[in-house]
Copies of this chain bind each other. A is one copy, B any other.
Amino acid sequence: MVKIGVVGGTGYTGVELLRLLVSHERVEIVAMTSRAESGRRVDELFPNLRGHCDLAFTEPDVGELAACDVVFFATPHNVAMNLVPELLAAGTRVIDLSADYRLRDAALWSRWYGEPHASPECLAEAVYGLPEVNRAAIAGARLVACPGCYPTSVQLGLIPLLARQLVDPGHLIASAASGVSGAGRQAKIDNLLSEVSDSFKAYGVAGHRHLPEIEQGLADVAGQAVSVTFVPHLLPMIRGIHATLFARLLAEPGDLQALYESWYADEPFVDVLPAGVFPQTRTVRGANRCQIAVTVPQDRDTVVVMSTIDNLVKGASGQAVQNMNIMLDLPETMGLQQVGLLP
């Protein structure tokens, strides 16, 4: 069994990672750290895990983590980048769910996160963990930076259009909406049920930290700079991201439905819906899956793509496990075949 450590397992990506890993037939969680909850049983905090997980949280200890084969960071940014160099040096492979290694440019990272990067020397080595783009590199990586939730849905939705140079890369629009679990398990008035239930709003309009990540990834695919107007919104529900993407066609695009279907034909976790069917977040709830639809309303010159994921699965912990499978040369779908919970 592959020995797994999880740093920061008290948040929503942490408990979701546990949900997936405790059912994975080839791994064993040996360390589960949390400074705040050290000593407490994991299933006391998350009673859905009773009977599935006997661990207690421990203080983070680099020695203990370095004894693992793979360590996941399910932490806020600014934790992984302080510990990763030591773990890599010890031969432990790292899958970081936080933002620390998503941007290749340390200066850009600092501008958006408001502090210097603690281990810029690792940025060149870090592989951006979007398997649909970087599968080969992930396989050999020591350090994988899992994409953010919005960037996963936005990139998977726009990649075929940009790779084929079909749309204006300078005026892309991403109007996306996320369930509140994306905001994490932190005591903030803004995320109380009484504040965000039964309501809808945009936020981070001036500039959300996922913007440079989206633009970096799409520029790679487009082979040129891209500009995205990215407006995230908060949905009155727990899980799910829906990205509605708009792009100006540069020419008659041909059969976009066929393009999308063939582009993702071999991807186990990207599901292009039949023409005329639009995705709903509920059909991917709990599943490691991105469902996509593409259409050109009124046959005008603007293409609309809709892309949905469960932000905690394909947008975080499921994608992390997918990366782990690739890194360990296991079947990519192992432990990730859950059917979405509908209704």
Q: Which residues of A contact B (CB under 8 A)?
A: 12, 15, 19, 22-23, 44, 46-52, 171, 173, 175, 177, 179-181, 183, 185-189, 191-203, 205-207, 211, 227, 229-231, 233, 235-240, 242, 244, 246, 248, 271, 273-274, 276-287, 291, 295, 297-298, 300-302, 304, 306, 308, 337-343
From B207, B246, B339, contact of A229 by CB (8 A): B246
For residue A181, which residues in chain B have a CB less than 8 angstroms away from its CB? 194, 343
Counting every copy of the chain, the complex holds 4
A246 to B175, CA, bound (A): 10
Q: CB distance A207 to B297 under 8 Å?
A: yes
A339 to B192, CA, bound (A): 22
For residue A230, which residues in chain B have a CB less than 8 angstroms away from its CB? 297
Q: CB distance B295 to A51 under 8 Å?
A: no
From B179, B189, B201, B277, contact of A187 by CB (8 A): B189
Q: CB distance A281 to B242 under 8 Å?
A: no
Q: CB distance A280 to B197 under 8 Å?
A: no
For residue A240, which residues in chain B have a CB less than 8 angstroms away from its CB? 198-200
Given the contacts A235-B235, A238-B194, A46 and B342 also touching, CB distance less than 8 Å: yes
For residue A233, which residues in chain B have a CB less than 8 angstroms away from its CB? 177, 242, 244
Q: CB distance B342 to A15 under 8 Å?
A: yes
From B193, B227, B229, B271, contact of A180 by CB (8 A): B193
A187 to B189, CA, bound (A): 5
For residue A194, which residues in chain B have a CB less than 8 angstroms away from its CB? 12, 179-181, 183, 185, 191, 238, 343
A49 to B291, CA, bound (A): 12
Sample of 13 more A-B contacts, CB < 8 Å, known A46-B283, A203-B278:
A44-B274, A50-B291, A185-B189, A187-B189, A188-B192, A191-B194, A194-B238, A198-B285, A199-B240, A202-B278, A202-B306, A205-B295, A206-B297
What are 13 A-B interface contacts by the 8 Å CB criterion? A15-B342, A47-B273, A47-B291, A48-B283, A175-B244, A187-B188, A193-B237, A197-B238, A199-B237, A201-B280, A229-B297, A231-B297, A231-B304
* Minimum distance in angstroms from A136 CB to a CB of chain B: 24
A181 to B283, CA, bound (A): 16
For residue A175, which residues in chain B have a CB less than 8 angstroms away from its CB? 173, 175, 244, 246
From B195, B282, B283, contact of A343 by CB (8 A): B195
A269 to B47, CA, bound (A): 14
From B12, B206, B282, contact of A198 by CB (8 A): B282
A158 to B70, CA, bound (A): 46
* Minimum distance in angstroms from A339 CB to a CB of chain B: 5
A199 to B198, CA, bound (A): 12
Q: CB distance B189 to A186 under 8 Å?
A: yes
Which 6 A-B pairs rank lowest in CB-CB distance, beginning with the nearest? A48-B340, A199-B282, A175-B175, A201-B280, A48-B342, A47-B283
